[in-house]
């Protein structure tokens, strides 16, 4: 592991120390998280990085689904509105039977 000597303004150090205290972490751990996120920022958003990693590991599965128009999508969503609690109840009852 490499060490990095970094000079920061007093205010930055104070805020970093406060953030570390709130998180219950060391200043070093918080600084590493911040630097890691900043370095990865130029590689795209989190979803893009996860996609690339899954692709590299060979665990990415792609599916081909038909394109659904916006009006059709809204119609489908409207047809299922309010069904969540009903399904939750049915699943709960099924679990109790076992």
Torsion, CA 61, CA 63, CA 69, CA 71, rounded to 10? -70
Q: Of all residues in the chain, what percent are helix, strand and coil, respectively (each to 5)?
A: 70, 0, 30
Q: Is residue 63 part of a domain?
A: no
Residue 72 has a pLDDT of 93
Q: Is residue 51 part of a domain?
A: yes
Residue 62 has a pLDDT of 79
Contact predicate 71/65, CB 8 Å: no
Q: Is residue 26 part of a domain?
A: yes
| Count of domains observed in the chain | 1
From its phi and psi, is residue 82 left (phi > 0), alpha (psi between -120 and 50) or beta?
Answer: left
Q: Is residue 44 part of a domain?
A: yes
- Domain that residue 52 falls in: 10-57
Residue 95 has a pLDDT of 86
DSSP of 27-63: HHHHHHHHHHHHHHGGG--HHHHHHHHHHHHT-----
Q: Is residue 43 part of a domain?
A: yes
Q: Is residue 73 part of a domain?
A: no
Residues of the chain with pLDDT under 70: 41-43, 98
Residue 36 has a pLDDT of 83
């Amino acid at each position: 592991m490499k060490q990095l000597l970094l000079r920061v303004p007093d205010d930055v150090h104070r805020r970093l120390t406060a953030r570390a205290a709130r998180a219950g972490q060391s200043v070093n751990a918080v600084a590493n998280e911040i630097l890691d996120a900043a370095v990865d920022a130029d590689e795209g958003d989190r979803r893009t990085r996860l996609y690339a990693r899954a692709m590299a590991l060979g665990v990415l599965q792609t599916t081909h689904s038909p394109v659904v128009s916006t009006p059709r999508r809204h119609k489908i969503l409207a047809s299922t509105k309010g069904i969540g609690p009903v399904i939750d109840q049915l699943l709960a009852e099924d679990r109790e039977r076992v």
